[in-house]
Amino acid sequence: MHDRHTRPHLQDYLNRVGAKEKNFRHYVILSDEYDHYMKCQKVAADIWIDDENVISCAVKEHAPTEDEIELIKAEVARDPFPKSISATAIEKLLKKLGLKNNDESLFDFPDQKRKGVIFVQQRVINKQGDKQDLAWSYWSDGEWRPMEPNGESLPFWKPPKDRQKSRVMIHEGAKAARDIDDLVNNPARCQELAASTGDGRAVPPTHFGSTGVQISSDSSRSSRWSATTTLQARRRPRRYRGSWLDRSTS
């Protein structure tokens, strides 16, 4: 994870507690408990390095010692981490993955103004048919890395175009949201939409996809609800898996 020559104390601590890297400032320790729904181990503890380069873990048995905290703080100060930033284009990532634009396995997560991409989710399916969602984020040194972006929450997937509507539906995962967004807004699928909903009035015009545990099978992070500003849950109509919400735009 880290160069032994530049951050040996950080690497020693991560090895001691058996932590797995999510990004430069976030690590997780997996428990022995298995999540059968998500088909992965549950997260036992999160480790964070804050903007002051102080490392911490809320679970006492995995927490760093005072000496480790000071040594790691000094290491990171000498050799600062890159920062995750929004990407204005993903061509470099496509080349890295050997994929073409609009590949159905990729899901762009734009920033709130839709002027950049916070990260890209890649859905990988193995020979057994098991799915794994990988996060790719862009960093200030110009590199795409298989990491979640910085921050304690992850953004929602949302349509590339703002639908300019006040009501949204939150779906479990980006794929479901993208599929329903296309069903609702693609004129070529109007008959399919009518067949699914009767008259189409039961479907909200804006669809978001939640992230969190599904963006990486062992992630403990929640979705970034600030992307929808103020939200209030409503009953969802039949035939659509998701949660109805009202959005008060700021």
Residue 172 sits in the same domain as residue 218: yes
End position of a domain, from candidates 78, 107, 128: 78
The β-bridge relationship of strands 84-85 and 131-139 is antiparallel
Q: Which residue has the higher pLDDT, 55 or 230?
A: 55
Task: Give the pLDDT confidence score for residue 221 in this predicted structure.
Answer: 56
Structure confidence at residue 48 as a pLDDT band (50, 70, 90): very high
End position of a domain, from candidates 121, 151, 181: 151
Q: Is residue 109 part of a domain?
A: yes
Residue 142 sits in the same domain as residue 179: no
Residue 194 sits in the same domain as residue 234: yes
**201: Cβ contacts below 8 Å, ≥ 6 apart:** none
- Choose among 77, 107, 113, 71: nearest CA to 90: 107
Q: Is residue 157 part of a domain?
A: no
* Domain range for 89: 84-151
Encode pLDDT of 120-152 as tens digits. Answer: 999 998 888 888 889 999 999 999 999 999 987
**217: Cβ contacts below 8 Å, ≥ 6 apart:** 38, 39, 40, 132, 133
CB atoms within 10 A of CB 91: 9
Encode pLDDT of 168-200 as tens digits. Answer: 888 888 999 999 899 888 999 988 888 877 655
Task: Give the pLDDT confidence score for residue 207 in this predicted structure.
Answer: 86
In whole angstroms, what is the distance from residue 134 CA to residue 124 CA?
8
Q: Is residue 89 part of a domain?
A: yes
- State how far Cα 102 lies from the chain centre: 19
Task: Give the pLDDT confidence score for residue 185 in this predicted structure.
Answer: 87
**pTM score, whole prediction:** 0.79
* CA triple 60-62-66, angle to 5 deg: 75
